[in-house]
Amino acid sequence: MSYEFLLFSEKMKIVLSVDSEEKIPMSITAASHLSEMPETEEVEVVYLNGGIAAVTQRNRIAPLLKNEKVKVVACGTSMEARNITKEELAPGVIYVPASLKEIIKRIQEGYIYLVL
């Protein structure tokens, strides 16, 4: 009996939390790899705290924005703390008022929660 089959017999939805600027490159790699798995339906990457720097850098997060299985989310609380406006978000980035609410909502919907 295959454990992989037992673990991944259904499509996976993943929410990935990124809270520091140093983790941005790793988040791009991780989300890309996770999205390539056939059992992955969606990867939602939530940038908050220091990681919020990613959401204004279109070229840096371009691989995620082009990936149909990946959603890039910006925490409004973190944006406000760093004086980032909605107009500064890279096209395709989704604004949410509070990342904690977003993450809790996704967990309740059955998403797997990963923290970088």
pLDDT for residue 10: 76
Query: pTM of the predicted model, to two decimals?
Result: 0.91
104 to 17, 36, 47: CA distances (angstroms): 11, 25, 15
Please provide residue 3's backbone torsions phi and psi, each rounded to the nearest 5 degrees: -70, -35
* Per-residue pLDDT, 54: 95
Q: Which domains are present in the chain?
A: 10-115 (3.40.1260.10)
Type of residue numbered 64: L
| Per-residue pLDDT reduced to its tens digit, 55-105 | 998 999 999 999 999 999 999 999 999 999 999 999 999 999 999 999 999
**Beta-carbon count within 10 A of 51 CB:** 24
Residue 56's contacts (CB-CB under 8 Å, 6 or more residues apart) are: 84, 88, 89, 90
